[in-house]
Amino acid sequence: MNEPFTGLSRGNHDVKGGSKNVACTMDESMAVKLFRGWLASSNVSQSFEHFQGAELNDLLYRFYVESCNKHLDMHGLKEVRDGIFWYLSGYTTTWSHIVQDNTIFQTSNDCLESLASRENSTTKVKLPHNKVPMLHEDIKTLINSGLLTNRNPVGLFRKVWFDLAIHLGIGGQAGMRGLSDDSFIAEVDEKGRRYYRLNRNINVDKSRSCMEMQYWCWESRMYELPTDVNCPVKTLDLYLEKRNPHKRAFFQRPKSNYGSHAGAIWFESPVGHSSLACMMSRMSEEAGLKRIYTNSSVRYTLADLVEQSGHSVEEVLGQNPRNKATKSVIIVPPSSLTSDEHKKNSHLIHGLFYDNLVNV
């Protein structure tokens, strides 16, 4: 097995890569300092030594995507990675074994290599700012990629997140991780049509969660589409059925080994610190999109699509996600929209994305 970290000096010693010493420009302490600084700016605990290997992998994935060509070039990113691994290898015996296991960090390492390939390509692809909407061809590619599906735990997890993001505006790392099994209410309107909405009596125990939730769509409804295989209500029904009933956290880690029989549980413990924050960047890579998008891109994309369809963003979404001066509140008065208007908006939002699906 190849050494997972080569290219940094540790103390006064050179790290050997193959048969020759590798010149070093960044030491271990600087690499750790840079990474802790990024964690702090991302509102994530700086004590990454206490994370699980899978959680650190997710954080590194996000770090590479957000830092590439902004603060560090590819050489710098690789040196930060190597410095972090050097630091952890001397932190505990457990970490020493973890950083030697390439399989744990496969997705973040693959991401780094992919970014390096793009940097070396004759056609430069710049990583977008998190407020840049998705390209139309990337929307179509994502919807047809098979990543958003009810057929397996990972696909179901992603589709639930995506549907809730476009319909109810959920976002923010602390806010999403704070969701529980009673955060969404299933109701039937006066015409017998099912929908989900956010629970306005949700218990918010952290100021940061409350700050993020003020931009959620507390008056919106996510309506059922009975004949649509991608119906968001059916997806959420299935997710709630497959969750681990012994854990209150709404977002739970998908199982790698799962049963297909009725009643099988597909999810287990609550997701890690960074899994939700990396949803769009991970899917961008896996779907082979032309750009790497962040979670914020989803709502900015929706706002653009609503506008292009000839509708008012504020009337359809309840607020304009491109304008952070417009806020919702967690406790809101009854909506001024009729049930028919809510249903029309919900179906419009769904169609703006899922009508890109190519039936095979």
Which of the listed residues 93, 120, 147 is the one where a domain comes to its end? Answer: 120
Select the more confidently predicted residue: 312 or 101: 312
According to the model, what pLDDT value does residue 339 have?
95
The pLDDT tens digits for 67-87 are 776 667 778 888 889 989 989
pLDDT at 153: 94
Retrieve residue 350's tokens: 């769904």
Segment 334-355 mean pLDDT: 91
Please indicate, yes or no, if residue 126 is contained in any of the structural domains.
Answer: no
pLDDT value, residue 192: 97
pLDDT score for 45? 80
In a domain, 268, yes or no: yes
Please determine, for residue 36, whether its predicted confidence score (pLDDT) is greater than 60.
yes
Q: Is the pLDDT of residue 151 over 50?
A: yes
Kind plus residue range of the DSSP H or E element containing 16: strand 16-17
pLDDT tens profile 258-281: 887 878 899 998 887 677 888 888
Backbone angles phi, psi at 260, to 5 degrees: -100, 0
The reply to whether 216 falls in a domain is yes
pLDDT of residue 345: 96
What CA–CA distance (Å, rounded) separates 248 from 270? 8
265/349 same-domain check: yes
Average confidence score pLDDT of the chain: 81
Question: Alpha carbon of 274 to those of 174, 243, 280, 284, 354: distances in Å?
Answer: 10, 20, 12, 16, 27
pLDDT above 70 covers a percentage of the chain that reads: 80
9 is a domain residue: no
User: Is there a single domain that holds both residue 97 and residue 212?
Assistant: no
Cβ count near 265 (within 10 Å): 16
d(CA 255, CA 96) in angstroms, rounded, equals: 26
125 falls within a domain: no
Per the confidence metrics, is the pTM higher than 0.95? no
Angstrom CA distances, 197 to 79, 129, 182, 252, 306, stand at: 46, 30, 11, 20, 20
Q: Tell whether 111 and 151 lie within a shared domain.
A: no
Same domain, yes or no, for 296 and 332? yes
pLDDT in tens, 196-249: 999 988 776 654 556 778 888 889 999 999 999 999 999 999 999 999 999 999
Are 35 and 159 in a shared domain? no
Contact by Cβ (8 Å): 127, 111: no
Are 342 and 197 contained in the same domain? yes
Output the pLDDT for position 276: 84
The answer on pLDDT for 93 being more than 60 is yes
Same-domain check for residues 173 and 267:
yes
Determine, yes or no, domain membership for 359: no
Domain boundary among 92, 120, 148: 120
Is 6 a domain residue? no
295 and 171 together in one domain: yes
Q: Does position 8 have pLDDT exceeding 60, yes or no?
A: no
Q: Which of 6-20, 101-115, 136-150 has the lowest mean pLDDT?
A: 6-20
> How confident is the model over 157-187, as pLDDT tens digits?
999 999 999 999 998 777 888 899 899 999 9
Domain hosting residue 334, numbered range: 136-354
CA distance 267 to 158: 13
Domain boundary (64, 87, 120) is at 120
> Residue 262: its pLDDT value, please?
79
In a domain, 7, yes or no: no
Note the pLDDT of residue 6: 44
pLDDT at position 10 over 60: no
DSSP-assigned letters across all residues of 53-92: HHHHHHHHHHHHHHHBTTTB-HHHHHHHHHHHHHHHHTT-
Query: Do 143 and 113 belong together in one domain?
Result: no
Same-domain pairing of 212 and 83: no
CATH number at residue 326: 1.10.443
Together in a domain, 199 and 338: yes
On whether both 180 and 81 belong to a single domain, the answer is no
Q: What is the mean pLDDT of residues 1-19?
A: 39
pLDDT of residue 60: 87
Using pLDDT thresholds of 50, 70 and 90, give the confidence band for residue 105.
confident
Domain count, the chain: 2
CA-angle at 165, arms to 159 and 168, nearest 5°: 120
Token pair of 35, please? 């990474």
